[in-house]
Amino acid sequence: MWRTLVAKEMRAHLLSFRFLASFVILFVLVVGTAAVLTNDYLRKVDEYSGRQAELDRYLRAYAHFNRIGGIIMPAQPPVPFQTLVRGITADVNVEAFDDDPLPVMFPLIDLVFIVTILISLIALILTYDAVSGEKEDGTLKLMLANGVPRPNIILAKAAGAGLTLAGPLVVSLAAGMLVVLLHPRVNWAGMNWGALGLIVAAAVLYGMVFSLIGILVSSLHRSSASSIMTSLFVWTLLVLVVPNLSPYVASFLSPAPSRIKVARETARLTDTDRDDLGRKLMAQYRAEVLKQYPVLGERLTEAETKRRVAEDPLYRTAYEANRAAVERAWREANAIQGAKTEELRKDLRQKEEAQTDLARTISMVSPLANFSYLATDLSSTGTRNLVHFAELGGLWDAGFFRDYQPKKIEAFRAKNPTGDAWNTAIDMSDAPRFHYVEESLGGRVQAALPPFGVLLGYCVVLFAAAYVAFIRYDVR
């Protein structure tokens, strides 16, 4: 019975025009994007190696330790997953004068887009009339008259929609992967297969969420014409509105100070304010020293002071006490102002983190955001990778500045004791280079678990709601 019901649902879908249209569009888009993104990826790989070669030439000829920090900054190489998922790689850079505004205006499309927009739309198109349509056709009455239990019907509808969605998605993606793998230069590692499998599973789950929304809405409406309206309304809110509003709402609820303001304030604290405080402390400590050594009160020229320091041991102690007082004053001023800036920065960091977390939580109301986070994290093109990249950068940093640099400077000084080790060109082509490795699958999966859980939770809740709505449905 149960199998007959699912088979009926699937047959009805498979023979329909909407399924055919969905399949064709999905197939063309997935394969097309895979082809274009693969080319894009290869171009990026070439560009990256070109940049590395340029860097090599520079390191051989002009590298000097004084300004090496800005030159050998760790750079993120393209990852093979970028043939499918664009992610939030640093395409947009407002810190540099040259920026590339095209992606800001027209975000590139990728697998995440195809799943989040198209699959959800297809799911709704397949299911918006699941119950109301059968009521209108009169088949629902017939089915129930034959003693088919209602739970079975609704479960079969959900399963049928899910299976129907999974088919075209997997087929299209397989074709897309073929395009990707046909390029011999795409280095698709085994780990990525695992990640891809999880992304596909999540995509099916995501489609399931929208299928269930369609089924729920259709069992709340008497006519399919109004059920498509409500479905699209819900879809628009969940897919097009909630995620986009979430960071703004979060900035409203959990404000963080403006970065510009903090930058100005810290600059003031460590510049003019520090000078004022230093001068004040200096005057104070010098007054104390003067009280102790009245001899310092005499006004002397620079030459006389020098002579006096050389001749008079008492004056010399006084002079040194004075110098220590000055140094102490400035050291204290630096420490006090430094602590203040650090506090400001910490406050900014904490507030920004709180805001980001809140924005993420709000956006997770939307299944689209969940899938975006999950897919970008699994493909190491998301926020998780930013953290991972920063960690790797820190490790490399230590290797270069703590181990390599002192050794190299020592070697230079051994050869040329009077040379300026900081501002002379030194061949650094043997320097340890930043080497990026993707995070292990375990870590990525861990990051993907919460959004996965939310999607699963959505499915359960929506199914329960659809079940209740269908039980109460008047089939006449």
Partner 1 sequence: MIGAVARKEIVSNLLSYKFFIVLLLMVLLVATSLFIMHRDFAERTADYQIIRPEPGQPIAVVPPNPLSIFAKGLENAMTRSFEIGVIGVDVRAGQSSGNVIYSFFPTPDFLYVVRIVLSLVALLFGFDQISREREQGTLKLMLSGPVSRAKVLAGKWLGNFASLAVPFLLVTLLGTAVLLFDTNIRFSAGQLGRFALLLVLSLLYLAFFLSLGMLVSALTRRSATSVIVLLFVWALLVFVLPNIGTLVARQFVAVPSVQALNEKREQTWTREVLLGIAKGADVGEHWKTISRENDRMEEDFRLKFERLVRLARNINRLSPAASFLDAATEIAGTGIDEESRLKAEVVRYKNSIIDRLIADQLAGKRDAVYPSFQYRTRPLGEVFAAGALFNTAWLAVFNILAFALAYAGFARADVR
Does 93 contact partner 1 by CB under 8 A?
A: yes
Task: Return d(Cα 43, Cα 49) in angstroms, integer.
Answer: 10
End-to-end CA distance of the chain: 23
Distances (CA, A) of 69 to 19, 66, 428: 56, 8, 13
Given the rule CB under 8 A, which of 5-13, 295-303, 328-336, 357-365 is the region that contacts partner 1? Answer: 357-365
Q: Closest CB to partner 1 among 100 and 320?
A: 100
Does 229 contact partner 1 by CB under 8 A?
A: yes
Buried b / exposed e along 27-65 (16+ C-beta atoms within 10 A): bebbbebbbebbebbeebbeeeeeeeeebeeebeeebeb
The footprint of partner 1 on residues 113-172 (CB under 8 A) is 113, 117-118, 121, 125, 129
Query: Which helix (H) or strand (E) is 42 found in, with range?
Result: helix 17-61
Task: Return d(Cα 471, Cα 183) in angstroms, integer.
Answer: 53
Q: What is the DSSP string of 295-347?
A: GGGS---HHHHHHHHHH-HHHHHHHHHHHHHHHHHHHHHHHHHHHHHHHHHHH
The footprint of partner 1 on residues 365-404 (CB under 8 A) is 369, 372-373, 383, 386
Does 98 contact partner 1 by CB under 8 A?
A: yes
Torsion 182-184-186-189 (CA) sign:
positive
Given the rule CB under 8 A, which of 139-147, 161-169, 311-319, 419-427 is the region that contacts partner 1? Answer: 419-427
Does 259 contact partner 1 by CB under 8 A?
A: yes
Does 226 contact partner 1 by CB under 8 A?
A: yes
Task: Return d(Cα 147, Cα 138) in angstroms, integer.
Answer: 15
Given the rule CB under 8 A, which of 173-181, 231-239, 315-323, 437-445 is the region that contacts partner 1? Answer: 231-239
Q: Closest CB to partner 1 among 90 and 461?
A: 90
- Residue 94's CB is within 10 A of a number of other CB atoms, namely 7
Q: Closest CB to partner 1 among 119 and 325?
A: 119
What single DSSP character describes residue 223? S
Task: Return d(Cα 414, Cα 233) in angstroms, integer.
Answer: 75
Which of 178, 263, 314, 339 touches partner 1 by CB under 8 A?
A: 263
Task: Return d(Cα 403, Cα 179) in angstroms, integer.
Answer: 44
Given the rule CB under 8 A, which of 3-11, 192-200, 219-227, 322-330 is the region that contacts partner 1? Answer: 219-227
The footprint of partner 1 on residues 8-47 (CB under 8 A) is 17-18, 21-22, 25, 29, 32-33, 36-37, 39-40, 43-44, 47
Does 55 contact partner 1 by CB under 8 A?
A: yes
Least distance in Å: CB of 234 to partner 1?
Answer: 10
Q: Closest CB to partner 1 among 1 and 96?
A: 96
Does 264 contact partner 1 by CB under 8 A?
A: yes
Which of 30, 115, 204, 250 touches partner 1 by CB under 8 A?
A: 250
Least distance in Å: CB of 193 to partner 1?
Answer: 25
Q: Closest CB to partner 1 among 337 and 381?
A: 381
Task: Return d(Cα 10, Cα 347) in angstroms, integer.
Answer: 56
Task: Return d(Cα 33, Cα 27) in angstroms, integer.
Answer: 10
Does 353 contact partner 1 by CB under 8 A?
A: yes
Q: Which of 439, 426, 450 is nearest to 373 (CA)?
A: 450
Count of chain residues binding partner 1 (CB under 8 A): 101
Does 256 contact partner 1 by CB under 8 A?
A: yes
Which of 260, 303, 414, 437 touches partner 1 by CB under 8 A?
A: 260
Does 268 contact partner 1 by CB under 8 A?
A: no
Which of 4, 11, 49, 50 touches partner 1 by CB under 8 A?
A: 50
Does 344 contact partner 1 by CB under 8 A?
A: no
